[in-house]
Each structure stands twice: as C-alpha cells, then as structure tokens.
Structure 1
Amino acid sequence: MKRFVGFVRKEFYHIFRDKRSLFILFGMPIAQILLFGFAITNEINNVNIAILDQANDVTSKEIINKIASSKHFSIVDVIQQESSIESIFKKGKVKAVVQFENNFGNNLIKKKQANVQVLTDATDPNMASTISNYISSILKKYQQELNKNSTIDYQIIPQSRMVYNAELKSVYMFVPGVMTVILMLVSAMMTSISITREKEQGTMEILLVSPLKPFQVIIGKVFPYIFLSVINAIVIVLLSIFVFNVPVNGSLFLLGVESVLFIITSLALGILISTISATQQTAMMISLMGLMLPTILLSGFIFPISSMPLPLQVISNIIPAKWFIIIVKGIMLKGIGIGYIFKETAILVLMTLLFIGISVKKYKIRLE
C-alpha cells in the first residue's frame, strides 16, 4: 500500500511540475466557461444605429431620446437624406436605420397614426430580427405612455424592412462563417501539424541540411495547403451560389483575391504555431483552442460582437476571421468594392506580415 501511495504522490508531483498539464487541467476550463458565458448570447447591446428624422418635431425627438437611452442601441449617426442609407450600410458603420416620416407628429395627432420605418442590415438575419423587435418594443411602450391619459388611441406603426436579405435566410449568415472556419482550420491547423511532424520525427534536420534553403523548405511545406484551400474556397462559393442560392453581388475576382489573402494569413499563423510547438499534440491543442473557438465565438460569425463585454470586443480585433467575415459578407451580399473594405484588407495584410516576422525571428535553423 505504501508503494502505491508513493506512486500516486509521484504522479501528483509530476503533474504539478508540468506547467502545460496544469494549464490544460485548470486554465482551459476556466477560459472556456468565461468565453462561452460572455460570448454566447442572443441579446443585443450597444448596437450602432443611425437616425433619419424627416419630421424633426417634438414627438420624433422624444422617441429618439427613448431609443438613445436604451442600453441596446447607440446612435452613432444622424443622416439627412434617404440616399445616404445605402452608403452607410455598405460602410458597415451601423446595423439599422430608424426613419421617421414627414410630419410625423402632425400625422399622429390629426390622423391618429404615424409610421416609423426600421431598416436593418439583414446579412445577420438573427440580429436584424432582434433589432427590429427591440425598436418595435420601444415604440409600443411610448405609444402606451401616450395613450395612458388620452381617450383617443394614437397608433405608431413600425414598418420593418430587411436590407440585403429580405427573406431572412440563415444561410446568408452561415456561408461566410463556414467558409472562414474551413479555410482557417485547413490552412493554419494542417500547416502547423505538418511542420511540427517533421520536427517531432527528426526529419526537419535532414531537410535543413539539404541544398534547399530554409525558406524554400517552409514554402514547399505550405504550398500544397494554399492549393487545397483555394479549391475549398471555390467549392464553397459554387455550392453557396448553385445549391443555397446565395448571391454574389460584388466582384468574384475581388472575392478570390481576398480569399487568397486570408489563406496566406492563416498559413502564416500556422507557421507561427509550428515554431512554438514541439509536438503535433501541442500544435493541435493550440490550433483547436486558439483558433477554432475564437473563430466561432469572437468573429461575429454567430454572436454579435457589440453585445459582448468590452474586453472580448477588444480581443476580437486580433481574430483574423472577424475581418474576413466582414469582407465576404460585404462582397457577396452588399456588392461593395475594395474602397469599402480597404481597412479590413489592410489589417489582414499587416497580420500576415506580423505572423511571418515573428515566425522568422523565432525560427531556429539548428534544431535542439
């Protein structure tokens, strides 16, 4: 029995000395529960919206103040004409525009009813429906307050209009997200495992002493995954067009260029993971926990980033998938050009250069 107790004690000592095991046992569960708890929500908070007040009267201003005081919305722009709506949606600045008709207050008093149009960016159909319902709820509450001390019932009629996805098809949201996840995993995870396998088996040393230069070895290792990822991207786009009837309103050439850029970004991230991983198991763990979960939870693929706590919103900015999803949705559903997605494209380019720079710095020609 003493031998058994001594053996168990030895195992405890071994685990406590291994910082990686402690991180897996205690760090990852805590990180996961916090990430899932704060990121997974169907509520919306601090959603950026714009106001088009064609009436500009007391009643419309009262309703605007009600919307502004709600924790669910942040009024970031007040536009003056209807022609600006399309432009502001394409820029991605807002998720909804609340439009008050001309003579809104007079119509409400004289005709006993007035109209408010709620235009929402339905590239994310779930969020668009939630925004529309929340604004309708605010209008209904204001209407009840208005009718509380009145014998005449005044009606404020909200008219919802879904922009870019009138039928609220969920596939419009899932195709860009699934495309991003697949390209990220195939490019980054498979590349990191492939290079780490060579290091683990000791064959990387043979490659490094060959006539090929180190950068040629790395390029040779990742090139097949560029080719395979491009094929994956083409297949996904073709399936989305011909099977799921998702439109490509923008340039197919631009979509292809941006996809290749994201693939290269993911490959650079995979190379970076391979430089800090000694084994395939470590590379797999880092890829799954460090790429897959953040890509799904913090990229805006399923859950709105604006509803997350501020620290998670900040962290989401270093997730390459966030910027690529904005690009894909913009090109496919909004039909925008490079002028509207220049910032997102520049961020992916900078991330690629950063990942490659860190990898080169950490890369050792002579393996220990």
Structure 2
Amino acid sequence: MKRFTGFVLKEFRHIFRDRRSLFILFGMPVAQIMLFGFAITNEINNVDLAILDRSKDDTTKEIINKIAASEYFSIEQFLDSESEIAPVFRKGKVKAVLYFEPDFGKKLIQPGRAKIQVVTDATDPNVASTVSNYIASILQSYQQETRRVVEPEYQVVSEVRMLYNPELKSVYMFVPGVMTVILMLVSAMMTSISITREKEQGTMEILLVSPLKPLQVILGKVFPYVFLSITNAVVIVVLSIFVFGVPVNGSLFLLALESILFIVTSLALGILISTISATQQTAMMVSLMGLMLPVILLSGFIFPISSMPLPLQLISHIVPAKWFIVIVKGIMLKGVGFAYLWKETLILAGMTLFFIGLSAKKYKIRLE
C-alpha cells in the first residue's frame, strides 16, 4: 500500500510541476464552458431585416413597427423594388426581406386577405427557419389583436405547456452537453499521454521492474486525474448555476456520484488509448480526433439521435457521452432520481470495467 501511495503522490507532483497540464486541466474547461455557454445557441436576437413595402399604408406601418419593436429583429433598410432583394442578400448582413403587396391594407379589409412574402437567406437553414417562424408568430399576434371578424360561437383552443424549460432557453440544452464534452475530452486526453510519457522519457523501464502490479500502475495513473477532474466538474456546475442560470432540480449528491462515474469512465478510456499508443503525440491525436467527433455528433449533444439513420443510432450506444447527457439532463432539468437513471448508470459502470480490464490486459501483454 505504501508503494502505491508513493506512486500516486509522484503522479500528483508531476502534474503540478507541468504548467501546460495545469492549463489544460483548469484553464481550458472554464474557457470552454463560458465560450460554448454564450456562443452556442439556437435563439435569434437583433436579426437584420429589409422591408419592401409596395403599399405604404397605415396597416403596413403598424406591422413594421410591431416587428421593429421586437427584440428579435431590427430594420436594416427599406427597399424600393424587387431587383434590390438579391443584392442586399449578397452583402450578407440582411437575413430576411418582408415584401408587402400593393394595396395591402385595402385587401386585408376586403376581401379579407392580403399577402406578405417572407424571403429568407437559407445558406443557414436553421436561422432561416427560425426567422420565418418568428415573423409568422408576430404576424399572427397582430392579426389576433386587430381582426374585425365576428368570433365563432365554438372554438377549439390549444394550450401549450413547455415542461422543464418553459422559456425555451437553448443554454439549458447546451450546458449539460458542454459539461459532458469537457469532462470526456480533458480526462481522456490527459490520461492518454500518461503511460506514453513514461516511455518517451525513458522511465518505463523503472515501472517494468517495480513490484507494482499492472492494475496498480493503471489505478495510480488514474487516481490523480480523478481528483482533478472532480474539481473541474464542481467548477462547471457552479458556473452553470450562477452564470447561466441552469437549475439543478434533482439531487446534487446523485449528480456528483454520476459525474464521478463518468469521469472514471473517461479516464479509463484515456488509459486504454495510452497503452496502445507509441508516442504522446499519437495518444493525443487519437484522444482528440477519435473522441471529439463521436462525442459531439453521436451523443445527442447537438443533434437528436432519433433523427439519425439506424446504423448511426446503433453506433451511438457505444459512446459513453450519450448516456451521461441523459443522466445530467434527467437530474438537472427533470429532477428525476436513480430509479429513472439506473439503466444508464449500469451501462457507464460496465463500460468503465471493460476499459480498465482491457487496459490491464494490454499492459500485461507488454510486460511479457
């Protein structure tokens, strides 16, 4: 036990002496959570519009004023003809053009139908779709406020309730995903270079002749990063709550336990990468390129897994980040307990044992 403790303390000292490792462990996560939390959003604000008003009556002025008063849009310029639409889009600043047909106000009263054409810049389909939906919502609101037709005696009215995120804040979706990406990449990347560093520095021979067993060497390499990654997780959760206002509706204790489990899973995967990599550069490239794309694309962080082709849905099952995102959203947003998350927890635990066992086997093979 004393030998193992000394080995762990040696790893701690090595980490704290390496300023680059400290920056990766503590500087990058804070910078990433702040950057991604503020920058990654599917909401729109102050989108520039252009107006082509062929009617120029009181009705169109009211609609334009209502749109301009919204926090979502700002009127960039007014156009005089259809030929100006294409050039204004080529400049790249205007994202949509509202085209009011001639005699808009008169046609709205008699025969009760007038047309507004919404032309959007679809080079970014998500923004174009969101802009058109927001404009349609504002126009519908205007129509409900000003319509003069008699209400029918009977109506079917739908009432929508948004559970867990009533204000539809995109940060509620992205912060748990960013937390997962940071813990996975930082933990796996740091541990992936641990054993390969020993080889490159010529200290592997000392480990090979030491009385420590392969499993003890692996655990000794993992333990310091477990402690440091837990510190990272605490910082990320604190920033999520106090900077971005993401609630924790469930148990903080359960969130802590699940985070520790995921950290150990990530560290074990990093150790596995390090045992099969010949150099630190190779280990870092494998951990970055081999984990970053699956974690971002196949974990449900940005794109819903249910919308993917079946082969990709099946592949996503072996991505640990997918199961941790389900856990984090369940605890933080839905407030559910272990009774609803036991399956995801068992999957992560099984992956952890598999990675650690395979790492020990690979290390043992090299000893022989």
Output the TM-score relative to the length of structure 2: 0.57
| Contact 1:205-1:367 at 8 Å conserved across structures | no
Q: Deviations over 1:175-215 (max 9, x none)?
A: 11111111111211110112211123331121221243333
Q: CA deviation at 1:221?
A: 1.7
Q: Deviations over 1:306-354 (max 9, x none)?
A: 1111111000000000000000000011000000000000100111111
Higher mean alpha-carbon deviation, 352-361 vs 329-338, is at 352-361
* RMSD (CA atoms): 2.7
Q: CA deviation at 1:259?
A: 0.3
CA gap 1:275/1:366 in 2 versus in 1, 3 angstroms: closer
SS class of match (1:245): coil
CA gap 1:366/1:324 in 2 versus in 1, 3 angstroms: closer
Q: Tell me which amino acid in the other structure corresponds to 1:246.
A: V
Map residues 34-183 of structure 1 onto 2, 5 A cutoff: 157-183=157-183
Higher mean alpha-carbon deviation, 235-244 vs 353-362, is at 353-362
Q: Tell me which amino acid in the other structure corresponds to 2:228.
A: L
Q: What number of residue pairs does the alignment pair up?
A: 225
Identity %: 83
Q: Aligned partners of 2:302, 2:155: CA distance in 1, in Å? A: 35
| Contact 2:251-2:331 at 8 Å conserved across structures | yes
SS class of match (1:303): coil
Name the residue aligned to 2:58: none
Q: Tell me which amino acid in the other structure corresponds to 2:245.
A: N
1:227 aligns with 2:208: no
CA gap 1:199/1:307 in 2 versus in 1, 3 angstroms: same
Structure whose CA Rg is larger: 2
| Contact 2:222-2:268 at 8 Å conserved across structures | no
Q: Tell me which amino acid in the other structure corresponds to 2:300.
A: G
Q: Aligned partners of 1:314, 1:211: CA distance in 2, in Å? A: 43
Q: Deviations over 1:266-307 (max 9, x none)?
A: 111111111211111221121112211111110001110011
Name the residue aligned to 1:73: none
Q: Tell me which amino acid in the other structure corresponds to 1:309.
A: P
| Contact 2:194-2:271 at 8 Å conserved across structures | no
1:288 aligns with 2:288: yes
1:264 aligns with 2:264: yes
1:326 aligns with 2:342: no
CA gap 1:297/1:206 in 2 versus in 1, 3 angstroms: same
| Contact 2:214-2:363 at 8 Å conserved across structures | no
Q: Deviations over 1:30-76 (max 9, x none)?
A: xxxxxxxxxxxx9xxxxxxxxxxxxxxxxxxxxxxxxxxxxxxxxxx
| Contact 1:188-1:266 at 8 Å conserved across structures | yes
Q: Aligned partners of 2:360, 2:221: CA distance in 1, in Å? A: 15
Q: CA deviation at 1:220?
A: 2.0
| Contact 2:275-2:363 at 8 Å conserved across structures | yes
CA gap 1:291/1:154 in 2 versus in 1, 3 angstroms: farther
1:305 aligns with 2:305: yes
Q: Aligned partners of 1:153, 1:318: CA distance in 2, in Å? A: 56
List gaps (5 residues or longer) in structure 1: 1-41, 43-125, 134-151
Q: Aligned partners of 2:250, 2:256: CA distance in 1, in Å? A: 11
Name the residue aligned to 1:23: none
Q: Aligned partners of 1:157, 1:296: CA distance in 2, in Å? A: 39
List gaps (5 residues or longer) in structure 2: 1-41, 43-125, 134-151
SS class of match (2:247): coil
Q: Deviations over 1:113-172 (max 9, x none)?
A: xxxxxxxxxxxxx9xx99xx8xxxxxxxxxxxxxxxxxx999654432211000111111
Output the TM-score relative to the length of structure 1: 0.57
CA gap 1:186/1:357 in 2 versus in 1, 3 angstroms: same
| Contact 2:188-2:269 at 8 Å conserved across structures | yes
Q: Aligned partners of 1:351, 1:257: CA distance in 2, in Å? A: 16
Q: Aligned partners of 1:163, 1:306: CA distance in 2, in Å? A: 20
Q: Aligned partners of 1:312, 1:207: CA distance in 2, in Å? A: 41
1:363 aligns with 2:358: no
Q: Aligned partners of 1:176, 1:366: CA distance in 2, in Å? A: 38
SS class of match (2:339): coil
Q: CA deviation at 1:242?
A: 1.3
SS class of match (2:161): strand
Q: Tell me which amino acid in the other structure corresponds to 1:197.
A: R
SS class of match (2:195): helix
Q: Aligned partners of 2:178, 2:277: CA distance in 1, in Å? A: 27
